[in-house]
Chains A and B, each alone.
Chain A
Amino acid sequence: MEKFTTHTGIAMPLTRSAVDTDQIIPAVYLKRVTKTGFEDALFASWRQDPEFVLNQPAYAGASVLVTGPDFGTGSSREHAVWALRDYGFRVVLSPKFADIFRGNAGKQGLVTGVISEADVEALWAAIAANPGSEMTVDLTARTARLGDLRVAFDIDDYTRWRLLEGLDDIGLTLRNEDKIAQFEARREAWRPRTLPVR
């Protein structure tokens, strides 16, 4: 997982609340056998509408999503995070996230910043006034800046630390690599080995 300190990219407004995981990625896409390549599945049904914000040229290549409260509710599917990540989003800002979605996001390097409802409105207005403008998200300072507008966001210390250090669950465990190697060095010879076949 890549380290995240600051990120600058096009901000896209999704002016809805309670966007559930079925909207983020419909169930039919769960049959796939990969953990990547879900960019085409993001908001799949809404995308049928040419007017949908994701289809507007101004937001091509957007990487910061600004959305209403209760984002990511519904099923626990990790695919919702994969779809956002694969499309290119690095940050989602919302007044409230579903817990499981938030947990999954933290493990995959997607920043979920909690901002006030007033700030969401202000950001939406600023983006609408200037579609395609860039936002800078500073995880160290927990702030997001769009032109003159500067908002503070919340993210718990542990998740923030993981993101700053670029540690997924496996990365975390591998911080104990020396301990694992020591354990392996003292494992008994009788323990099973699948290779070589004899």
Chain B
Amino acid sequence: MTSDIAIPDRPRTLAEKLWDDHLVVKGANGEPDLIYIDLHLLHEVTSPQAFDGLRTEGRPVRRLDLTIATEDHNTPTLDIDKPIADLTSRTQIETLRRNADEFGVRLHSLGDKEQGIVHVVGPQLGLTMPGITVVCGDSHTSTHGAFGSMAFGIGTSEVEHVLATQTLPLKPFKTMAITVEGELKPGVTAKDVVLAIIAKIGANGGQGYVLEFRGSAIRSLSMEGRMTICNMSIEAGARAGMVAPDETTFAYVKGRPHAPTGQDWEDAVAYWRTLPSDEGAVYDAEVFLNADELEPFVTWGTNPGQGVSLSQTVPDPASFSDPNERAAAERALEYMDLKAGTPLKDVTVDAVFMGSCTNSRIEDLRAFASIVDGRTKAENVRVMVVPGSARVRLEAEAEGLDKVFTDFGAEWRFAGCSMCLGMNPDQLAPGERCASTSNRNFEGRQGKGGRTHLVSPLVAAATAVLGRLASPSDLARFDSPAARSTTGIGA
């Protein structure tokens, strides 16, 4: 790319390269830089006022060809052909439909094959790719950083700004390298890695930073796994998370509906290969983790940083030296109705939620299915499996996973955010306890008074089998995979 903006002649990080390559105007004396946005994703919750702002000022959407919308937060996961009962939900969705129609924005509505959680839809269409900037009025936009893109959530005024100008005035972020070296044990997944990272640096430890995940353990992850990790960067307070693109990334993007083809593909890959951080590039902070030591992880509290290995006990608030952390732990245990010292594997649950933009892609569903296949759910739990998109639902059904889930006793639903935040009817009742593959365990997040334990799809599955928090290794003692496999998926 040629421009009059000088590129610094020193080793740069991935984040710095992306920033430099999207500079429209370099801010002079303390003003923000103006950054170009390659891809703008919209959904029904944070877009209405942005469109109304455009209307008031008589402004069009500058780049309809870089803009796409889907319905996800409010959509029901049952009876999707019936009118939406909740008035606020229905108004938000109908408003998005009207706005998309009026301004000419491509929209995937409920019932459409490409509808789904905005962060599942972008990658699946091949719109999310390395080397681009992605924004959406949603904090978990960090998911798309898994491709080696710069992706972050924005507020409604910023949504309006991007719609009108395709740019954002921004101050550069600081960079933090999170290096995970080694090999993950069987049964330990990307979700466990990211929960362990957040527990290590804290729910605010990433504030002001773009996190770059690196090291052999990250390199060996699939794109789905990398998306799970980047998705939860925001739970460490970070602005964005990213993984440098490599052959795994290129293979995932290639052939998707919006992936470049022919010479464009060659040009793109050539550029993408230049993106990984240079030898000697300096980060503002560095964190190291040993993958060999990681075990299946679970949260016991009400922020994603309050987590431990599943084989441990509920921590004693007195063990926290920081007085704020101690007080937070006391409050969390009270809300979660947990006693210090209780083995986490003794904790029984009422519900298992398999879904959300953290873990609802086809690979996540396959992992869940590999455990529940041929088994029956524990009587005390209700189990809900919600695919991230309509396409994931179709793919899963083509593989027969829906049958595995329903035979197990789980509910097989339509795509959307669902019980991740309970804006639709999928909510926990007060006091109910849930093992959830989502990303936030805040008080009341999954329904007023609901209690959330964040876990991986494998832990969610084992928990659904036993009715208490469990890892797949706990199942071996009860039966053997060979004796029960009906689809050949295997454990």
Contacts and interface: CB of A to CB of B under 8 A. Distances in A.
A174 B34 CA distance: 11
B267 A194 contact: no
A182 to B, nearest CB: 8
A193 to B, nearest CB: 5
A interface, size bucket: 20 to 34
Contacts of B268: 188, 190
A176 interface: yes
A90 to B, nearest CB: 15
Given A188-B1, A193-B66, A195-B64, A34 B48 contact: yes
Interface stretch (A39-47, A122-130, A146-154, A165-173): A165-173
Given A169-B157, A183-B3, A186-B3, A194 B66 contact: yes
A180 interface: yes
A51 B161 CA distance: 41
> Which of A188, A190, A191 lies at the interface centre, i.e. has the most chain B CB atoms within 10 A of its CB?
A190
B449 interface: no
Contacts of A170: 57, 59, 160-161, 164-165
A180 B167 contact: yes
B2 A186 contact: yes
Contacts of A107: 157
A180 B36 contact: yes
A189 B265 CA distance: 9
Contacts of A193: 65-66, 258
Interface string B40-53: 00000000110011
B433 to A, nearest CB: 30
Given A35-B49, A170-B164, A194 B157 contact: no
Contacts of A197: 106, 257
B57 A1 contact: yes
The prevalent SS among residues of A at the interface is loop
B99 to A, nearest CB: 9
A192 B125 CA distance: 10
A169 B169 contact: yes
Interface string B267-291: 1100100000000000000000000
Given A78-B157, A186-B2, A173 B34 contact: yes
Contact of B56 (A36, A174, A192): A36
B39 interface: yes
Contacts of B161: 169-170, 173
Interface string B92-135: 10010000000000100000000000000000001111001000
A158 B68 CA distance: 35
Given A170-B57, A174-B164, A192-B129, A33 B95 contact: yes
A188 B2 CA distance: 11
Contacts of B127: 192, 194
A20 B59 CA distance: 32
B66 A34 contact: no
B49 A195 contact: no
Contacts of A168: 57
Interface residues of B, number: 48
A16 interface: no
A83 to B, nearest CB: 13
A189 B52 contact: no
Contacts of A191: 38, 132
Given A78-B157, A183-B3, A195 B57 contact: no
A35 B66 contact: no
The winner among B92, B157, B265 for most chain A CB atoms within 10 A is B157
A33 B97 CA distance: 13
A192 B169 contact: no
Nearest to A2: B57
A35 B160 CA distance: 11
A43 B55 CA distance: 25
B302 interface: no
A190 B59 CA distance: 28
Contact of A194 (B36, B59, B65, B165): B65
Nearest to B59: A170
B81 interface: no
A33 B49 contact: yes
A100 to B, nearest CB: 13
Nearest to A189: B264
A190 B267 contact: yes
Interface string A11-41: 0000000000000000000010111100000
Contact of A35 (B3, B38, B56): B56
A194 B167 contact: no
Contact of A192 (B38, B59, B265): B38
B233 to A, nearest CB: 22
Contacts of A31: 88
B113 to A, nearest CB: 11
Interface string B1-40: 1110000000000000000000011000000001010110
B66 A179 contact: no
Given A174-B164, A186-B1, A197-B106, A33 B157 contact: no
A182 B48 CA distance: 30
Contacts of A35: 49, 52-53, 56
Contacts of B91: 33
B457 to A, nearest CB: 28
Contacts of B38: 187, 191-192
A190 B65 contact: no
A169 to B, nearest CB: 6
B101 to A, nearest CB: 15
Query: 3 closest A-B pairs (Cβ-Cβ)?
Result: A33-B48, A190-B268, A35-B52
8 contacts: A35-B49, A170-B57, A176-B24, A180-B165, A187-B36, A193-B258, A195-B64, A195-B106
Interface of A: 1, 31, 33-36, 78, 107, 168-170, 173-174, 176, 179-180, 182-184, 186-195, 197-198
Interface of B: 1-3, 24-25, 34, 36, 38-39, 48-49, 52-53, 55-57, 59, 64-68, 88, 91-92, 95, 106, 126-129, 132, 157, 160-161, 164-167, 169, 257-258, 260, 264-265, 267-268, 271
Given A180-B165, A180-B166, 18 more contacts: A31-B88, A33-B95, A34-B49, A107-B157, A169-B169, A170-B164, A173-B165, A179-B24, A180-B36, A187-B36, A188-B1, A188-B267, A189-B264, A190-B265, A191-B38, A192-B129, A192-B258, A195-B64
